[in-house]
Structures are given as C-alpha cells and as structure tokens.
Structure 1
Amino acid sequence: MTQHLRRRVLGILALLGCLFGLMVWFGSLAPAPGVGAYPGSEELGTDYDAWVGDQVSLTGMVTDTDPLTISAEYGADEQVRLRVTDAAVDAQQGDSLSVYGVVEPDLTVRSLNAYTVPPGNYLYMYAVSFLAGLWVLGRIIRSWRLDETWSLVPRETPLGIGDFTTQSTQVEDHDA
C-alpha cells in the first residue's frame, strides 16, 4: 500500500471517528428551549412534573381518538401515554402524531401545532429515498472514475448504457 493511499485511509477513518463522536455528543445534549431544542418524550417520560408549563416537541403513536391520546417511546422500550388537547388534526388510531405544545398537569399536552403522518407514508418515503440513492449512484458511476491513487476524477466522456454491455462482451471474448 502506498504512502499516499495510507494517508487517505487514515484521513477517512479520522473523519468517520469525528462524525461518530459528534453524533454521540449531540445525543447527550440537554434540552434548551431558548435555542429551539425542546424537551421530548425522553424528558417527559423520566421526570414529567419538572416540565409542566414548558413547551415540548414530541412524536408518538395515536392509541385513542376520544380523547386524543398518544404513546411516546423513551428509554429502553418504555412508553409514556399523553393526552393531547386543542389539536386541530383528524388523527386515526395507528397514525404517528407530532405535537408541539405546552406541558399541562396530569399527563396532558396542550397542542400549539400538530400534524399526523399515516403509516403508509413511511414506506413511500423509504422507497423514494432508495430510488433516489440508486439514481445518484448511477450518475456517479457514469460520470466519475477512480484513478490509480484511488482519487475520484471526472470521466472525459460519460459512460452510456452501451458501454456496460460492450465491456461485458469484451471480457467474455477475451476469456475464450
């Protein structure tokens, strides 16, 4: 392995380590409503009374519609059931309800803004994201190549569909 390639691999590993460290650090930050980081289900589930009167932002599964009740997960498979008032949404049982509101006594959240996401929308989101990822990968393969130092460089002429079929038949003819 050349010295240049070693440096590149070490640089990538260092950047991935920094990315992982920043994700862990960000996940450990306490809520700060002054900067838009509102408490969520984790904080309400562990110490509900400490947040009464404060604004909260959380998402939970609708378990009942009369009164509107959500079940929000926190911790290791623990759940807190909250009643949501003043929500101007048509929520159905099984929908995911995102609520921004004020914490009231007796496990109640007074909604200032709320919206639902039907379960089928998640499948659509993942399918579209997967197809978009394949499209981007195809564009990268078509327009870029790796040179001998493992650097990504633009192709002089982008590959076409015919280039893939021609290369595969040339390899088969060469092997014969």
Structure 2
Amino acid sequence: MGAYPDDTNLGTNYDAWVGEKASLTGEVVETDPLTIVAEYSAGERIRLRVTGTDLQPAPGDRLTVFGVVKPDRTLHVQTAYIVPSSGYTYMYTVSFIAGLWVLGRLVRTWRIDRQTWSLEPRSTPLRLSNVIRSQNAEDRDA
C-alpha cells in the first residue's frame, strides 16, 4: 500500500525487514563507506551503511533513501537525494519571514473586539504611517 518500513521499524526489529524495501532519512556521519544515522525514538538511533549510489554527501547532510534492506545494517539504494545542511537554514529563514508577513497582514486588516475577545475585520486597514503619527501625537501630549 506504499507504506514502507522506516527508521522506527528498522530500529526496533531490523532483521524482520531484511529483503524488504524501506524508506528513511538520516544524517550522514561517514562518507567512506557512506553511513547514515537515523533517530527512531528518544535517544535511540540506528546506524546504516548505504550502498548502490553515486551521491557524494558531506558529513552533516541529510540523506533520504529508498532501497532494499540488506543484512548487516546495510541499505542498498534504489533512489536517494541529499538535503544539504544549508537547506535547513534557508527553509527556517524563509518560513520566519513568511510568518512575519502573515502576522503583519493579520494585524493590518483585523482587530480584537475587547468585549467578545474575537477577531473582527477593520473598517479600514491599519497603516504604519498612521501608527507613527498617533505615537508622535501621544508623545507631544505627554
């Protein structure tokens, strides 16, 4: 049904899956031989040797692998791809910026009704220039 064993299945009972296809992602810890480590439970890790690929990941990269489980904690690759460690920095940076944009849109076009504590649309969108002007007016009045 497309549900292949993953790091949890292999970590808890590796020998039961020998000869089966599996899919998992792990961190590259060695490149000769290519070895990945995947965490399958809190503090529990499985270390696998990866064969059958020409990919050359660097230590610290994440390697996603689909292949056949072999004896001796070896996974023979049919398909694999590398996610460089810099890819996560990019992902988190873009996600943070997108989150700020969404928050800005929310604050600009919605307000909290203090009686019902619910969100209601603003009659006119809030503008940064209006906020600055009102803050300057409050400073002069003080």
- With over 3 angstroms needed to count, the CA separation of the structure-2 counterparts of 1:39 and 1:167, relative to structure 1, is farther
Q: Which TM-score applies when normalising by structure 2?
A: 0.89
Whether the aligned pair in 2 keeps the contact of 1:62 and 1:97 (CA below 8 Å) is yes
Q: Percent identity?
A: 55
Question: How far off its partner does 1:169 sit?
Answer: 2.5
Partner of 2:65: 99
Aligned residue identity for 1:144: W
Distance (Å, rounded) in 2 between the aligned partners of 1:144 and 1:99? 45
2:105 is matched with which residue: 131, 139, 142?
A: 139
Tell me if the contact between 1:88 and 1:114 (Cα under 8 Å) persists in the aligned partners.
no
- Which position in structure 2 is the counterpart of 1:54? 20
- Residue number in structure 2 paired with 1:9: none
Hey, which of these two has a bigger chunk of helix by percent?
1
Deviation at 1:38, TM superposition (A): 2.4
**Secondary structure, aligned partner of 1:170:** helix
Is residue 90 from structure 1 mapped to residue 53 from structure 2 by the alignment? no
CA distance in 2, matches of 1:38, 1:163: 56
Q: 2:46 aligns with which of 77, 80, 88?
A: 80
The CA RMSD over aligned residues, in Å, is: 1.6
Q: CA deviation at 1:173?
A: 4.1
Structure 2: distance between partners of 1:75 and 1:40: 12
**Greater relative contact order (Cα < 8 A, sep 6+):** 2
Amino acid at match of 1:48: Y
Q: How many residues align?
A: 141
Report the TM-score, using the length of structure 1 for normalisation: 0.73
1:163 equivalent among 122, 130, 137: 130
Contact 1:84 1:109 in 2 (8 A): yes
Q: What SS does structure 2 have at the residue aligned with 1:62?
A: strand
Distance in 1 of aligned mates of 2:24 and 2:108: 42
Q: Secondary structure at the match of 2:116?
A: coil
Amino acid at match of 1:160: R
Deviation for aligned residue 1:88: 3.7
Q: Which amino acid aligns with 1:78?
A: E
